[in-house]
Amino acid sequence: MNPENLIRPDLKNFESYSMAKAKLPTQEEIILDANESPFGEPYSRYPDPNHFDLRKKLGECLDLPINSIFMGSGSDECIDLILRLFLLPNQGYLAIPKETYGMYKIQAQIQGLNLFQFELDENFQLPKLPPEDVIKSKLCILCSPNNPTGNQFSLETIENWLKLMNGVLVVDEAYIEFSSGNSVLELRKDYPNLIIIRTLSKAFASAGIRLGYALGNPYLIEKLYSIKLPYNLSSLSQREGLKIIDGIPDFQKKIQIILQERAKLESFLNSIPQVIKVWSSQANFLLVEFQRAPDLQGFLKTQGIRIRDRSEIRANALRISIGTPQQNQKLMTLLKSFYCEESTVY
Ligand SMILES: Cc1ncc(COP(=O)(O)O)c(C=O)c1O
């Protein structure tokens, strides 16, 4: 499949904004080409629009060439730009599962795109073969491990989908570091129509910095660079990003704590009779179906604990992010007391 044929025809030969900083200045140069302040304050200069240092470091970390990495202000920006690159307003169709990360739909709506929403099975797994409309669509996004259901799709099924699809398949791996399953990264070489999205917001504890990235075919990555806002990542976030990537090995300990806590919370929840179902999770959250879910959520709120209503996915489903051991302990104590009081009422 030739990736050139996948992007919007009007963006094929699109001439992007030519930035003063496209080539970074040397120390000796006098820079009078970007209407910046000349006095040398720490942030007086525009940042590197091509994120060279950041992509180099990330590339070393992932063992990938720099030209297959796009950096965005959070993975949400990557998603936004991918929709723009492939789909025309009022004409394009985005295919997504019904039960998935809500921003795909919102961003598609903002861009005036049509949606094709297909069903996952009762365990929130993908159908073995893509539905007819997915095969025809120019763009499909899968989230794996999926938010808010927590399960990961099998590599084999995703590869089957890639073989049959005529368009681009985006796999959002925002939670991949919490999973015991394989990433789709290894499929990248064989399928130029695969784009993988990841983020520093979750396992690497940096949601406030706003750094996400897309990995894919160099032609498509270059095209994403051509349509983004010129200076989408501030100097501050690029500098902090370098430190975060350097510290990635140190996050392993924290990821392990989250995994242990996830297992503990899951088995605790399974011991409560009023818990109808706990979906097994490969992410840093659990989706749980409770009896009297709205009352429980309200009660926890009064006790200073916020969890997320996900009843649009399943009636009475709440999504709980895994906290610190202390936070989870408090949650478990409150859950017990909520349902104990309930049994005395009835
Ligand atoms: C599946 C998924 N993708 C992307 C994002 C956005 O992440 P970022 O902070 O990188 O924009 C989220 C945030 O919750 C998410 O759950």
Digit-coded pLDDT (tens) for 197-212: 999 999 999 999 999 9
Residue 27: what pLDDT?
82
Nearest-5° angle of CA 246, CA 200, CA 161? 120
Length of the chain: 346
Tell me the pLDDT band of 1, cut-offs 50, 70 and 90: confident
Residue 100 alpha carbon, nearest atom of ligand 1: 1
CATH code, 57: 3.40.640.10
Digit-coded pLDDT (tens) for 163-198: 999 999 999 999 999 999 999 999 999 999 999 999
Give the end of a domain, one of 227, 246, 265: 246
Cβ–Cβ < 8 Å for 330, 337: no
Q: Which of 58, 73, 76, 149 to mutate to test the pocket of ligand 1 (most atoms within 8 A of CB)?
A: 76
Nearest-5° angle of CA 117, CA 119, CA 120? 130
- 277 and 323 in one domain? yes
213 CA to centre of ligand 1 in angstroms: 11
- 90 and 176 in one domain? yes
- 88 and 226 in one domain? yes
CATH code, 259: 3.90.1150.10
Q: Which of 70, 101, 282 to mutate to test the pocket of ligand 1 (most atoms within 8 A of CB)?
A: 101
339 CA to centre of ligand 1 in angstroms: 32
Q: 266 to each of 182, 261, 282, 308, how far by Cα in Å? A: 22, 8, 12, 16
Q: Which of 126, 212, 199 is nearest to 169 (CA)?
A: 126
30 CA to centre of ligand 1 in angstroms: 40
Range of the domain at 7: 3-246
Tell me the pLDDT band of 17, cut-offs 50, 70 and 90: confident
Residue 25: what pLDDT?
80
- 281 and 197 in one domain? no
Residue 143 alpha carbon, nearest atom of ligand 1: 1
Q: At what angle do helices 293-302 and 325-345 cross, to 10 degrees?
A: 120
- 76 and 97 in one domain? yes
Residue 313 one-letter amino acid: I
- 286 and 172 in one domain? no
How far apart CA 83 and CA 87 sit, in angstroms, is: 6
Nearest-5° angle of CA 128, CA 132, CA 136? 120
Give the end of a domain, one of 246, 276, 310: 246
- 320 and 261 in one domain? yes
Residue 342: what pLDDT?
60
Nearest-5° angle of CA 228, CA 231, CA 237? 115
Residue 344: what pLDDT?
46
Q: What is the domain count for the chain?
A: 2
